[in-house]
A and B are shown apart, each in its own frame.
Chain A
Amino acid sequence: MYRDYRNKDVQFFYVYKNLAHPEVNNFVPVVSIEERLLHIKRAKEMMKTDMNWICDTMKNDVKDRFGGTYNGEFIIDPDGKLLKKRFWSDPVQLRKDLVEIIGPVDKVTEVADLPTVFTPEPRKIASNVMPRPIMPPRLMPMDAKPHKSDDPFFAKLRIEANSEFYRGAKGKIFFTVYLDPIHKVHWNNLAGKVKLEIDAKEDEFEFSKTKFESLDAKVDADVDPRWMLCSAQAMNTKPFNVKLTYTICDDAETFCKEVVQEYVVNPAPNRNGGTRPGIFLNEMFVDVKKMDKNGDQKLTKDELPMGEVTMYVGHLDYDGDEVIDFAEIDRFMSMFNNGKGITETNDGG
């Protein structure tokens, strides 16, 4: 559409806002506009397009103005008035809209005319060496704001809790520490484990533990996330503080550094926190190839089970030929876990 209508007085923009699903395509949620701009640069390289991007504010003002959709699509007239809106973008319908509003084009660009896009570049440092934990069910992210730091946020902290915690009952808090691929660094495991320390008043919170160390990595360097879990209860809605200590080296091996960074955590659900990708749908990730009943390494409509799984698996049909071959499944899996795919699923939301 962009190719077809950009010369017909139509301007197109992608909007970068908070990320919906950390880790996918080796992107993790960032903490500053500068880091968002780095993501945009990376995205343009991956998508091989010169279409312009708008970088939303850290408060996601643009997303909020446009209804809070994660994958919405909107047409606005030259006076700034909304003409069309969709919760979920639909290229077929968008083209129909543009034909109706602007008029037809002489030559329609097809998907096959476009360059291959969105192949994540796996990190070359060891990954998939840390066992992924079984997560408590019904996790929702919290708002964790970083304090100012002289160092870049090489690692990003994600904090989630289950509904019991948010209700003020005894619940679970799950900490994930992601290394951010845009900084091109890895854990220096020879220098020690990732450490996390909670600072909260005793009469405001009850934690089963307040000092954590990550598990042994068993390799000198890797890029896997680190996970920590505790039981917790909040007696009120006041924030608590988390201090993160870790040692990283850059991939080019020009420096290693211990970094200490702190976050203030608001113990309430953060609606902009996104979710870890589809981990509750085992059929989608672990068992998808088992649907191939005749062993031809392809999934056809008659092999897909009825119901929601079919709807989801249908997204893997990248070329739209109504057949999902195993290469398409592998391509899908390559977007997770630094290209290693997902081999186990669990709850966690």
Chain B
Amino acid sequence: MKQNLISNTIRLILCGLLVIATLGTFSGRCWAAPQLGGEEFVDKFNRMFEGRDPKVGAEMFSELSAFDEKGKKLKFDKLKGKHTVIVFGCLT
């Protein structure tokens, strides 16, 4: 019973997280905090995220590569030299 309760609680949290993750993108602006009462919920997740990696001060770019819009390999080290804002999400 206790295990079920814990399992259901975890599920509820995960479901809530996923719905938030879904709906935020639907704002159509990509960078969009929830409105009409959702701020507290997201603040909570942001606070939880503070304790997780990567930590503030961590080296983010070393030995990391992906692709640019043309499909060319992009080494993140090349982004050094300017402040960089990176945003995930947006499409779905």
**B91 A19 Cβ-Cβ under 8 A:** yes
Query: Is B15's CB under 8 angstroms from A280's CB?
Result: yes
Cβ distance A302 to chain B, nearest Cβ, rounded Å: 11
A57-B66, A284-B19, A308-B16 known; A89-B59 Cβ under 8 A? no
Q: Given that A57-B66, A310-B36 are known contacts, is A13 also in contact with B84, CB under 8 Å in the complex?
A: yes
Q: Does A247 contact B (CB under 8 A)?
A: no
The smallest beta-carbon distance between B28 and chain A, in angstroms, is 4
Contact B66 A55 (CB under 8 A): yes
Q: Which of B48, B56, B70, B90 contacts A47 (CB 8 A)?
A: B90
A72, A82, A94, A284 pick with most chain B CB within 10 angstroms: A82
From A35-43, A173-181, A212-220, A230-238, the one touching the partner chain is A35-43
**CB proximity of A24 to chain B, nearest CB, Å:** 4
User: Among B11, B33, B76, which residue has its beta carbon within 8 angstroms of that of A138?
Assistant: B11
Picked from A54, A92, A116, the residue with its CB within 8 Å of the CB of B67 is A54
Are A86 and B49 also in contact (CB < 8 A) when A78-B81, A301-B36, A315-B26 are?
Answer: yes
CA distance A89 to B86 in the complex (A): 10
Cα-based distance from A269 to B51 in the complex (angstroms) = 25
B69 touches A312 (CB 8 A): no
Query: Does chain A have a CB within 8 A of B2?
Result: no
Q: How far is the CB of A88 from chain B (nearest CB, A)?
A: 5
A311 beta carbon closer than 8 Å to chain B: yes
Cα-based distance from A280 to B61 in the complex (angstroms):
38
Chain B residues in 8 Å Cβ range of A281: 19
Closest residue of chain A to B29 (Cβ to Cβ) is A111
Chain B residues within 8 Å of A298, by CB: none
B87 contact from A5, A73, A87, A93, Cβ within 8 A: A73
Contact B22 A316 (CB under 8 A): no
What A residues does B87 contact at CB under 8 A? 12-15, 71-74, 89
- Among A62-70, A124-132, A141-149, A184-192, the stretch in contact with B: A62-70
Given A94-B31, A117-B29, A332-B26, A75–B81 Cβ distance below 8 Å? no
Q: Quick check: B58 and A82 within 8 Å, CB to CB? A: yes
**Is the pair B32, A10 in contact by a Cβ cutoff of 8 Å?**
no
Q: Is the CB of B66 within 8 A of A54?
A: yes
A residues near B80, Cβ cutoff 8 Å: 78-80
> Residue on A with the closest CB to B48?
A87
Please tell me which one of the listed residues B21, B68, B85 contacts residue A70 in the complex, with CB atoms under 8 A apart.
B21
The answer to whether A43 and B37 have CB atoms under 8 Å apart is no
Q: Produce 1/0 per residue, B15-43, CB < 8 A to A.
A: 11011111111111111111111100110
A67/B52 in contact, CB under 8 A: yes
For B21, what are the chain A residues with a Cβ–Cβ distance below 8 Å? 20, 70-71, 88
A and B contact pairs by CB, cutoff 8 A, 5 listed: A13-B85, A20-B18, A20-B21, A317-B36, A332-B26
| B residues neighboring A (CB under 8 Å) | 11, 15-16, 18-38, 41-42, 45-46, 48-50, 52-62, 64-71, 74, 76-77, 79-92
User: 15 more A-B contacts (CB under 8 A) besides A11-B79, A73-B31?
Assistant: A13-B84, A53-B69, A61-B65, A76-B79, A79-B80, A82-B56, A86-B46, A87-B49, A88-B33, A89-B89, A116-B28, A117-B28, A275-B18, A275-B22, A315-B35
